[in-house]
Amino acid sequence: MTRTTKPYHHGDLRNDLLKAGMDLLKQHGQSAVTTRDCAKIVGCAPSAVFRHFADRKAFITGLATEGFTLLGTRMTAAVETVDKDVQHRVAARTYIDFAMQEPHLFRLMFQGDLIDIEDPDLRAASEFLRNDAALANPTAPNQKDDEAVLAWAIVHGLASLAIDSQLCRGLPNDAKQRTDALMRILDRTASPFKD
């Protein structure tokens, strides 16, 4: 055996708690992400959670932050591999695919009353979206900015409606196939994504 007595101090409790929360979230949704269950999974006392997070909202915000980081990583990685003229289309596909694969996480990331919108870490992790879409000032007179906002709205709207089961009738179960179905709509109708 590698270890007989478990040490009093946990290695990286904060991160392990987030990982446990991610598992619960992925499998059973946000209501199943309970601080006590996360503590039990990690193997620490329920009170230990609050050494690393001010309250449950802060913990959930931490999960959302990880989600934005993950989405950002995927999008930049995907965009880097393709030609400039199809980058926005690839970005859209990656965004939608992320939502289809991680619906609970995606929902959480945009659930304004469950997370702390002002949290600096969260803002930093999600900044790339506002930058990419030039959303610092959505009322800008700049036509290009408007189109960027609109593109985000289209993709985000499609993903959200599909997740919240308003669009689910007729959509396939498999995540990839659902992404394909939504992308087909984009291809055929949305001018910003037409090549």
Measured CA distances, 126 to 54, 64, 71, 88, 129 (Å): 21, 9, 9, 18, 6
- The residue (of 7 and 120) whose beta carbon lies closer to DNA is 7
Minimum distance from CB of 152 to its own copies (Å)? 7
R_g of the chain computed on alpha carbons: 19
Q: How many chain residues bind its own copies (CB under 8 A)?
A: 52
50 binds, among its own copies, DNA, none (CB under 5 to 8 A by kind): DNA
Closest CA to 98 of 130, 120, 76, 131: 76
Part of the chain binding DNA (CB under 7 A), chosen from 54-62, 115-123, 125-133, 150-158 = 54-62
Residue 128 near DNA by CB under 7 A: no
Q: Which long-range contacts (CB under 8 A, 24 or more apart) does 172-179 make?
A: 175/97, 175/100, 175/101, 176/97, 176/100, 178/100, 179/93, 179/96, 179/97, 179/100
State both tokens at 141.
Answer: 């007179």
Q: What is the DSSP string of 123-159?
A: HHHHHHHHHHTTTTSTT-S-HHHHHHHHHHHHHHHHH
Our CB check for its own copies shows the closer of 16 and 29 to be: 29
Could you tell me the smallest distance in angstroms from the CB atom of residue 9 to DNA? 4
At closest approach, how far in Å is the CB of 30 from DNA?
A: 10
Torsion angles phi and psi, residue 80, rounded to 5 = -65, -25
| 176 in contact with its own copies (CB under 8 A) | no
CB of 28 to its own copies, least distance (A): 9
Q: Does 37 bind DNA (CB under 7 A)?
A: yes
Chosen from its own copies, DNA, none, partner binding at 45 (C-beta under 5 to 8 Å by type): DNA
| Residue 118 near residue 54, CB atoms below 8 Å | no
Q: Does 11 bind its own copies (CB under 8 A)?
A: no
Which one of 54, 77, 82, 136 is in contact with its own copies (CB under 8 A)? 136
Enumerate binding residues for its own copies (CB under 8 A): 29-31, 103-104, 107, 110-114, 117, 126, 129-130, 135-140, 143, 146-147, 149-150, 152-158, 160-161, 163-167, 169-171, 181-182, 184-186, 188-191
